[in-house]
A and B are shown apart, each in its own frame.
Chain A
Amino acid sequence: MNGNGEQKSLVERLQFIDRRIIFLFIAVAVVLPLLFGATLKEETTPIVQELFDFIEHLPPDSRVLLSFDYGPTTAPEIQPMADAIVRHCAERDTRLYMMAIWATGHNLTGSTIEETLKPEFPGYVYGEDYINLGYKAGNQGLIRLLFDDFKRMYSTDANGTAIDEFPMMQQIKNLKNFDLIVSFGGGFPGIKEWVLYAGDPGNIPVGGGCTAVSAPLLYPYYPNQLVGILGGAKGAAEYENALITKYPAYGKKWMGGMSLMMSQAVSHVVIMLFILFGNALYFILRAQRKLETGGGE
């Protein structure tokens, strides 16, 4: 019944459509592309290309610090970019130093190593080419301490082995010994803290991969304090596109970011269609009401 006690018209009923119908359309839009394995390439934008080019020009044996500052909730968005950057760094034969300033990042570091690095780069040796330093509490305070004395906080790796036993840790005294820091994560502490307490004071290049919601807040830091930013699944897909362009062998591999883009694109279109539909109903209803009040005078 509407406000006049009359039965609601179809237009009125549709305007306040049951949310579950919208949910159903969204579910189909998200799930079907994933089920069919549809992917979508994304043209790489300059903000992503800059980070790609920076890593591409790193000489072999460069030291790259990767900080996994995210949790399982944002992993679907951020994990593809972490995988893409790990692959790229390994292609460039750089040394990978992996750590986390989020407690939940520790597990994700491990799964990145087990599922991406080890299977795809079997020649990479732990302790010589890559190392898992694990999680340490302290948020931005930790970054400040690492800036001065890295080994004061990280005296062992994630497995409890003394840090000096690893050849790749010999030259590391503080954060200034790294050629690039890449932080994955859009929360606190995250990319902004790495820029404020490491990149800016130490003139260390910093790159970031974050959720789409957090990306706009980091734009002011690009390009002076951030080499590049990967924002959301789109950013991951753009980086994967750049990777495939440079290393065509990855074209045959399943890429997390590109696999999400078709779902994202289709669900965006569904949302837009519903918005248009809702506005059309609104204007039809408004016109009907105008006619009714006009007819009643």
Chain B
Amino acid sequence: MKRTVPLLITFIVGAVLILAEFVPHEPFGNFGEDFSLYFDIIAVFAFLLGGGNLIRVHVTKVQRKKKDWPFSIVTLVGFLGMLAAGLLKIGNPDGIQGDVAKLGSLFNDLYMFIFTPLQASMFALLAFFVGSASYRAFRAKNLDATILLVAAFVILLGRTPFGLWLTSGLEGSLSFLQIPNLANWIMGVPNLAGQRAIMIGIALGVISMSLRLILGVERTYLGQDNE
């Protein structure tokens, strides 16, 4: 029973949703959007579990004075502070009835002056990590790696004016060898072809995986071993 009921639900819901994709007649036509909404509602309630877990983990750390416990206080203050600012609409010009992110509210100030710069800083780390990853990864160890290296060079140069300056002398029938043109060709032809092939493979993989889940062949996600 413990195994059969979840599998039956998975099969029925999976089959109905596939059917709903092709049957516009009521009630099937709206199933896709309706079930998506149901999931969103469940996810919102499930957030209580996640938030509760976060508080419990960090309160335990503080209570037991585990390693780095002061940072748990920072986490708790940040979490509860933002929650209070949003729920209670602290400093909101329109009071408790106002839009939670109203300009001038504490929530909006915390979002604009703490959260947004922190987000931007984390994103900016990518610039540094691209440098260190490139230094380590682009080595001409074999033919494939060398082709990758040359392509990366062409693209890097092509995205700067130096690429055009270096090859501006190539005109007429040789203009396709200008680095910016080569870079656009690499991005628009072999790169795009490769991406499309990967996407076709992904789509087929999704079909196969979904069928395995719907038919009950794959049950690991239920926490059970497959028979």
B-binding residues in A (CB < 8 A): 17, 19, 22-23, 25-27, 30, 40-43, 45, 71-76, 106-107, 110, 141, 212, 216-217, 219-220, 234, 261, 264-265, 267-272, 274-275, 277-279, 282-283
B77 to chain A, nearest CB (A): 22
**Residue from the list A73, A141, A219 in contact with B192, Cβ < 8 A:** A219
With A268-B159, A268-B160 as contacts: A23 and B138 at CB distance below 8 Å: no
Contact yes or no, B162 A279, CB < 8 A: no
Of the residues B101, B139, B159, B188, contact of A216 by C-beta under 8 Å: B188
CA distance A42 to B163 in the complex (A): 12
Query: A residues within 8 A CB of B192?
Result: 216, 219-220
A45 to chain B, nearest CB (A): 8
Cβ B188 vs Cβ A282 within 8 A: no
> In the complex, A277 Cα to B139 Cα: how many Å?
10
B162 CB contact (under 8 Å) in A71, A265, A278: A265
Q: Are A267 and B157 within 8 A (Cβ)?
A: no
- In the complex, whether B208 has a CB less than 8 A from a CB of chain A is no
Chain B residues contacting A271 (CB-CB under 8 Å) are 130-131, 134-135, 156
A277 to B136, CA, bound (A): 11
Q: Are B157 and A279 in contact (CB under 8 A)?
A: no
**B200 in the interface, Cβ–Cβ < 8 Å?**
no
A234 to B195, CA, bound (A): 22
B164 is an interface residue with CB less than 8 A from chain A: yes
* B residues with CB within 8 A of A: 33, 101, 103, 108, 111-112, 116, 119-120, 122-123, 127-128, 130-132, 134-136, 138-141, 149, 152-153, 156-157, 159-162, 164, 180, 184, 187-188, 191-192, 195
Once A219-B188, A219-B192 are accepted as A-B contacts, the answer to whether A275 and B149 lie under 8 Å apart by CB is: yes
Contact check, A72 vs B119: say whether CB atoms are below 8 A apart.
Answer: yes
Say whether A275 contacts B152, CB under 8 Å: yes
Q: In the bound complex, how far is the Cα of B188 from the Cα of A277, in angstroms? A: 29
CB of B120 to closest CB in A, whole Å: 6
Which of chain B's residues have a CB closer than 8 A to the CB of A216? Answer: 187-188, 191-192, 195
Q: How far is the CA of A42 from the CA of B180 in the complex (A)?
A: 12
Asked whether, in the complex, the Cβ of A40 is within 8 Å of the Cβ of B161, the reply is yes
Name which residue of chain B comes closest to A160, CB basis. B99
Given contacts A216-B187, A216-B192, contact A278 B131 (CB under 8 A): no
* Docked pose: A166 CA to B132 CA in angstroms: 53
Q: How many angstroms between the C-alpha atoms of A71 and B117 in the bound complex?
A: 12
Name 24 A/B residue pairs within 8 A (Cβ), A-sorted: A19-B132, A22-B131, A22-B132, A23-B132, A26-B131, A75-B120, A107-B111, A141-B33, A216-B188, A216-B191, A234-B159, A264-B159, A267-B127, A268-B159, A269-B162, A270-B131, A272-B157, A275-B152, A275-B153, A278-B138, A278-B139, A279-B140, A282-B139, A282-B140
Which residues from chain A contact B127 at a C-beta distance below 8 Å?
26, 30, 267
CA A141 to CA B130, docked complex, whole Å:
36
Residue on B nearest A111 in the bound complex, by CB: B112
Give the distance to chain B from A288, nearest Cβ to Cβ, in Å: 16
Please, which residues of chain A bring their CB within 8 A of the CB of B119? Answer: 71-73
Task: List the 5 closest A-B pairs by CB distance, nearest first.
Answer: A265-B160, A72-B116, A73-B123, A19-B132, A23-B128
CB contacts (< 8 Å) of B134 on chain A: these are 271, 274-275
Taking a contact as CB atoms under 8 Å apart, the answer to whether A217 and B152 are in contact is no
CB-based contact A73/B138 at 8 Å: no
- The residue in chain B whose Cβ has the minimal distance to the Cβ of A71 is B119
CB contacts (< 8 Å) of B195 on chain A: these are 216-217
B159 touches A43 (CB 8 A): no
Complex CA gap A30/B126 in Å reads 13
Bound-state Cα–Cα, A212 to B159, Å: 10
Residues of B within 8 A of A45 (CB): 180, 184
Q: How far, in Å, is B149 (CB) from chain A's closest CB?
A: 7
On whether A26 and B120 interact (CB within 8 A), knowing A234-B159, A278-B135, the answer reads no
Residue of A nearest to B121 (CB): A73
Q: Please indicate which of the listed interface residues A23, A264, A270 has the most CB atoms of chain B within 10 Å of its own CB.
A: A23
Q: Which chain B positions have C-beta within 8 A of A220?
A: 192
Q: Which B residues lie within 8 Å of A234 (CB)?
A: 159
Measured CB to CB, the nearest residue on chain A to B146 is A279
* Residues B153 and A272 in contact, CB atoms below 8 Å apart: yes
Query: B86 → chain A, closest Cβ, in Å?
Result: 13
